[in-house]
Amino acid sequence: MTDQPHERDQGTTGSVHPEVPEKPVRRRFDAAYKLRILEEADRCSQPGQLGHLLRREGLYSSHLSTWRQQREQGILSALTSKRRGRKAKPKNPLAAEVAKLQRENRRLKDQLRQAELVIDVQKKVSEMLDIPLKNHDDEKAD
C-alpha cells in the first residue's frame, strides 16, 4: 500500500479526505432494483440472511418497509425516485395578459400625470398673463 492519495480522495484545496466525500450524493433506486431487492428479502428464511442482505446493499430496514408498502399499493410509479423540494407551480395562462395590462396601466398613469402637469403649467401661465381660459362649459353654451 502506498502513501500517495488517490485523485478522487483529494478535495479542491488539495487536502486529503478519504472518509468524507466532497459533496454527498443522494442515492436513487430505480423500480427494477427495488423489486429485485424485495424479492431477495422475501426469500430470506434463515436468521441473519436479511441483515446480511441489507449490509451488502447498504440499505436500511425502513427502505424495505417503504418499498413493500409501495408494492402492495400497486404503485409502480411510486417505486421510482421522486424529485425532492417544492413542486413547480403550474403557469397561469392569464399571467402574461395580466402583466401586459399592468405595464400598460403604469404607462397610461405616467402619461396622465404628465398631461395634468402640463395643464397646471398652462393655467398658471394664463393667470400670470391675464389670459382668460375657456371652460368646457363655456364652449357648450356657444
What are the pLDDT digits (tens) for 9-54? 444 455 555 676 677 788 888 888 888 999 899 898 888 989 999 9
What is this structure's pTM? 0.40
3-class secondary structure, 68: helix
CA angle, 4 then 8 then 9, to 5°: 60
Instruction: Name which of 59, 58, 65 is nearest 42 in CA terms.
Output: 65
Least confident range from 49-53, 54-58, 102-106, 128-132: namely 128-132
Residue 99 C-alpha from the chain's centroid: 21
- Per-residue pLDDT for 68 more than 60? yes
